Amino acid sequence: MDTETPKDPLDASFDLITRQDAADQALGALRSDVEEVKSRLDKVSRAAARPALGDAAPASPERKGFVDGYLRHGRESELKSLTQGIPADGGYAVPREIDAAIAAQLMKLSPIRAIAQVVQVGSAGYRKLISTGGTASGWVSETGARPETASPKFAEIVPPAGELYANPSASQAMLDDAAFDLEAWLAAEIAGEFARAEGAAFVSGSGTNQPRGFLSAPTSASGDGARPFGTLQFVASGNATGLGTVIELALVDLVHALKAGHRQGAAWVMNSTTLAQVRKLKASDGSFLWQPSLMDGQPARLLGYPVVEAEDMPDVAAGAFPIAFGNFVNGYLIAERTATRILRDPYTNKPYVNFYATRRVGGQVLDSDAIKLLKIAA
């Protein structure tokens, strides 16, 4: 018959202590799990209680990083990405977004930019070569001598450039408003300033610290081939003070003074005051020379060519050039930098934050045979 051997009292006491330690460890682990669950529930409750700011879609990480980091706090890392546009430095590409918006609005506000030739340059030293004469040729017999013929001649175009700037501002309270569309506001402000300045410079700019407008080029009544390179031809209106009674004939002469190749894609340029007078002109049979557009989005036409309204063109006056006709893609060159540089200035005009934007733009007549002018003269 088996009998249970009694335990030693000392061993029994150690066994009791071991069981007590195991129970304490299990209880501590359970308390830790409970505290973690309570902490997570507390975070979820606070997030659910936070009110939403409107119904707008959440901002992208790129835009939120730009607004919080640079526009509100002025951190230099965001400044470097804004001015240089390096995607690896943050990826939000703010200069590219702003430049795209500005270019779209300049097309609408500055008509010369929309019809001229625009090139993007990387420095101020932009130059373009123009061929002013082709290679000569001649007829010879089978065994006749082949004398040397004339070689092509070149001219160099260096569009004078200037720095265009805009300096809009916003209060710090406006910048702190999360619902404020900073990019749209900034693009609209800068586009308005740039469009007004560029529109005037491309037409009548002096060429000193700004583009040289096509009306600032020298003029002559001589035809193509008889004028110096860079000189525009004008046709007199037939009246010393206004459009006169033979203006219809002068407009026809102006059209055909342009070479046939340039007439493909040519357009009239005048301001709205001059346009109001031109719209009243009639041919000998009583029909209007002005032809209104028959399709939405298509420009009205004068003698079969579209009309562009440029308010920077001069009014009808003695000695003025109120009407231009030509192919401006071939005739006028605009050279500009590819990026707009923006400097954030929160110190000069407290409590406002200024956004100082600059762009270098140049312009000059490219082919003086491609643009003709109407001069108010007898």
Per-residue pLDDT reduced to its tens digit, 69-86:
655 666 555 444 444 445
Size of the chain in residues: 378
Per-residue pLDDT at 235: 93
Per-residue pLDDT at 99: 66
| 261 φψ region: left (φ > 0), alpha (ψ -120 to 50), beta (else) | alpha
Residue partners of 134: CB distance under 8 A and separation at least 6? 152
Could you list the beta-strand ranges (E) of 184-231: 219-220
- Closest C-alpha to 338, from 171, 126, 148: 126
Cα 142 to the center of its chain, rounded Å: 58
Interaxial angle between packed helices 76-84 and 94-109, expressed in degrees from 0 to 180 and rounded to the nearest 10: 40
Question: What average pLDDT does range 149-162 have in this prediction?
Answer: 81
Question: What average pLDDT does range 60-72 have in this prediction?
Answer: 60
- Closest C-alpha to 116, from 264, 373, 330, 359: 330
As a whole number of Å, the CA-based R_g of the chain is 37
202 and 332 in contact (C-beta within 8 Å)? yes
Residue partners of 294: CB distance under 8 A and separation at least 6? none
Cα 312 to the center of its chain, rounded Å: 19
Report in angstroms the alpha-carbon separations of 294 from 95, 225, 263, 265, 331: 40, 39, 22, 19, 28
pLDDT one-digit tens code per residue, 273-314:
999 999 888 877 777 888 887 777 777 889 889 999 999 999
pLDDT cut 90: percent of the chain above it: 26
Per-residue pLDDT at 36: 76
